């Protein structure tokens, strides 16, 4: 198989899957946020973190895609192409996992904070740790791309 084609598949995965994960997360958390915003608008400024962290997933994928695009001229071997593909897979899986976590924890955070605003600081940890999954994938992808 052509190394350029394999690399392009890595780029497609690195941008495509994180964007879908971000969209789903924004849809799920944004809908819950809109519902709470009608009853308790004073909570929106704190709870918007769920949507912002969902959007960050797309940014992580975009960073990896840009890095891989910059490496395309030097990806001439099958080994380098496989590294590009693997880095795309890593950020794709990490972003998808983070999106699932943010969606579940984010909607729970929104509901719990609506019931008792004092629980925000202890409940936000699930959303933040879910986001960390994507950051782990981002770091590993950076390291793999650095070896190309």
Q: How many CB atoms lie within 10 A of CB 10?
A: 29
Mean pLDDT of all residues in 40-69: 95
DSSP character string of 5-70: HHHHHHHHHHHHHHHHHHHHHHHHHHHHHHHHHHH-GGGHHHHTHHHHHHHHHHHHHHHHHHHHHH
Question: Region 63-86: what's the mean pLDDT?
Answer: 96
**Domain ranges, ordered by start, for the chain:** 3-146
Fold of 3-146: 1.20.120
Q: At residue 37, does pLDDT exceed 90? A: no
Helix, strand, coil percentages in the chain from 3-state DSSP, rounded to 5: 95, 0, 5
Q: To the nearest whole percent, how much of the chain has pLDDT over 90?
A: 93
Identify the CA nearest to 135 among candidates 32, 28, 61: 61
Q: What is the reported pLDDT for 143? A: 97
pTM above 0.85, yes or no: yes
Q: What is the pLDDT of residue 101?
A: 97
Chain centre distance of CA 58: 6
- The SS3 of residue 40 is coil
pLDDT at 1 over 90: no
Q: Distance between CA 102 and CA 107 in Å, rounded?
A: 8
């Amino acid at each position: 198989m052509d190394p350029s084609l394999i690399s392009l598949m890595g780029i497609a995965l690195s941008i495509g899957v994180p964007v879908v994960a971000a969209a789903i997360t924004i849809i799920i958390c944004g809908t819950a946020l809109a519902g709470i915003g009608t009853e308790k608008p004073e909570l929106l400024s704190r709870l918007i973190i769920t949507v912002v962290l969902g959007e960050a997933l797309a940014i992580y994928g975009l960073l990896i895609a840009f890095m891989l695009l910059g490496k395309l001229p030097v990806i001439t071997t099958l080994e380098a192409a496989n590294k590009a593909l693997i880095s795309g897979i890593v950020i794709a899986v990490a972003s998808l996992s983070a999106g699932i976590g943010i969606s579940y924890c984010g909607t729970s955070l929104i509901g719990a904070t609506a019931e008792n605003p004092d629980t925000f600081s202890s409940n936000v940890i699930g959303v933040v740790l879910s986001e960390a999954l994507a950051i782990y994938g981002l770091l590993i992808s950076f390291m793999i791309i650095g070896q190309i």
